[in-house]
Amino acid sequence: MNGQKKQRVVCGMSGGVDSSATAALLIEQGYDVIGITLKLWPQDCVNRAEDKCCGPQAVTDARSVCDKLDVPYYLVDESADFQKHVIQYFADEYKAGRTPNPCVMCNQNLKFGRLIDRADQLGADFIATGHFARVEKNVDGSRWLLKRGKDSRKDQSYFLFSLRQDQLARTLFPLGDKTKSDTREVARHCNLKTAEKEESMEICFVPDNNYGGFLQQANLVQKHRGEIVDVRGGVLGHHDGIEFYTIGQRKGLGITTPKPVYVVELDAENNRVVVGDEAALDRNEFVADRCNWHPFENLTAPIEVTAKIRYNHPGAPATVTPLDGNKVKVKLHSPARAITPGQAAVFYQNDLVVGGGWIMR
C-alpha cells in the first residue's frame, strides 16, 4: 500500500487470542485498524461469566491488546439486540421442540451487521474477525465464496454459512490460512497478554453449559408437565418441559426401561418427549429451509455435496434437491444419527461452502 492512503478495517475484538492475532496481522499487512468489542451481554448474565466472550474480563483484555498495538478501541453496547435476536431465539427454539444454534444466528443477525454499520460510521472499507475461514472471489468475479479455514480442526466456516454476499464482500479473515499454533505465535511475537489464553467451547451466555438452568433462571421458560412416550405412543413417564431435552439424549430422562432409550422426537404441539431405541435415531433424509447459497443465487438442480448436520459432525456424502419456498431435500447416502431440527445443515464441495439451511422437523 506504498504511498496510498491506508485502507481502514474495523476489527471485532472478543478478548481472545484469535481476534488479538487478527488485529496484529492486519497492522502488519498495512491496514489502518480500529478495534471494536460488541458488548452483547445483558448485565445480569455478566456476573455469572466474568471471563467469557464479551464479559468484563474480555473487554479488559481487548482494550489492553489495542493499547499494546496502538490502535483506537471502542466498546459498543448491543446487549438489547442480543437479548432480542439471540437469547430470545434460543428460548423460542427450545419451546418449539428444536435445538438452536445461537452462534450462527449471532453472526448472521448481529456481529457482522453491527460491525459493518460501525465500519460505515468510521469510514472503514472492511471488517475483520478472528474466524478460521476464507473468503475469495469466484473465477468471473461475480460472487464471493466462503471456504474452510486451512486448519481443519479449527475451521469455523460452518458458523458463517448464512452470511450474505454483501457481508462477505466487506469481510476479511486473516486467520483463514493460519493454524491455531500460528495464531498464538503471532500474539506471542507482539507480546499480547491474550497469547496463552484458553478458549471456551461453551455457548457464551450459558457459562456452565447448563442451558436448562439458564432458561429457567432468565425466566424464559417455566416448567410444564407432559408425557414421555415410546414411538407407539405408550406413556412411560412424565417430564417438566420439552425445552429440557435434545434429540439423541439418553441420560437424565427420569424413566426406567429394560433397554437404553434415547430422545428421538420433541413434539411441541402435544408437549410430548418421544423416546425409542438407538436404531430410531438413524435417518437418511430431511428437509432444510431458509437456505443461503454462495456460488449462485438459488439452487436450481440437484447437487452432490458433503453435508455437515452439526458443527462437530465430520460430514457425509449427500444429494441436495431444491424444493419450493427456499427449501431443499437432503438425502444422505447412508443414515446419520440424531439429525436435529433447529440445527444448521451446511453443504460443502471440498473446501467450498456451497451453502446451507436449517433442519426442519
What are the tens digits of pLDDT across the range 227-270?
A: 999 999 999 999 999 999 999 999 999 899 999 999 999 999 99
**pLDDT at 349 > cutoff 90:** yes
Pair 13, 23: CB distance under 8 Å: yes
pLDDT of 44: 56
**pLDDT at 42 > cutoff 90:** no
- % of the chain at pLDDT higher than 90: 84
- Cα three-residue angle 256-341-82, rounded to 5 degrees: 110
pLDDT of 361: 78
Domain boundaries, the chain: 8-189, 223-276, 282-359
C-alpha cell at 27: 497492522
SS3 354: strand
pLDDT of 2: 55
Q: What is the mean pLDDT of the chain?
A: 92
| CA–CA separation, 80 and 279 (whole Å) | 43
pLDDT of 54: 57
What are the tens digits of pLDDT across the range 203-215?
A: 888 877 888 888 9
Pair 297, 283: CB distance under 8 Å: no
* Structure-derived torsion over alpha carbons of residues 51, 55, 58, 60, reported in degrees to the nearest 10: -110
* Structure-derived torsion over alpha carbons of residues 243, 244, 250, 251, reported in degrees to the nearest 10: 180
Per CATH, domain 223-276 is 2.30.30.280:
yes
What are the tens digits of pLDDT across the range 142-201?
A: 999 999 999 999 999 999 999 999 999 999 999 999 999 999 999 999 999 999 988 777
pLDDT of 355: 98
pLDDT confidence tier of residue 49, bands split at 50, 70 and 90 = very low
SS3 333: strand
> What spatial distance separates the first Cα and last Cα of the chain, rounded to whole Å?
51
- % of the chain at pLDDT higher than 70: 95
Q: Among candidates 145, 150, 179, 174, which has minimal Cα distance to 160?
A: 145
SS3 60: helix
CATH of 8-189, one of 3.40.50.620, 3.10.180.10, 1.10.3210.10, 3.40.1010.20: 3.40.50.620
Q: Among candidates 107, 108, 90, which has minimal Cα distance to 99?
A: 90
What are the tens digits of pLDDT across the range 66-110?
A: 999 999 999 999 999 999 999 999 999 999 999 999 999 999 989
Q: Which residues pair with 356 in a beta bridge?
A: 292, 346
SS3 233: coil
Same fold: 8-189 with 282-359: no
SS3 242: helix
- Cα three-residue angle 293-295-297, rounded to 5 degrees: 55
Q: Is 269 exposed, middle or buried (0-12, 13-18, 19+ CB in 10 A)?
A: exposed
Pair 147, 136: CB distance under 8 Å: yes
Please list the active-site residues.
106, 204
CATH class name, domain 282-359: mainly beta
pLDDT confidence tier of residue 58, bands split at 50, 70 and 90 = confident
b (16+ CB within 10 A) / e for 137-150? eeeeeebbbbbbbb
**Amino acid in position 56:** P
pLDDT confidence tier of residue 46, bands split at 50, 70 and 90 = very low
| CA–CA separation, 319 and 260 (whole Å) | 32
**Amino acid in position 273:** V
Q: DSSP secondary-structure letter at 143?
A: S
pLDDT of 154: 92
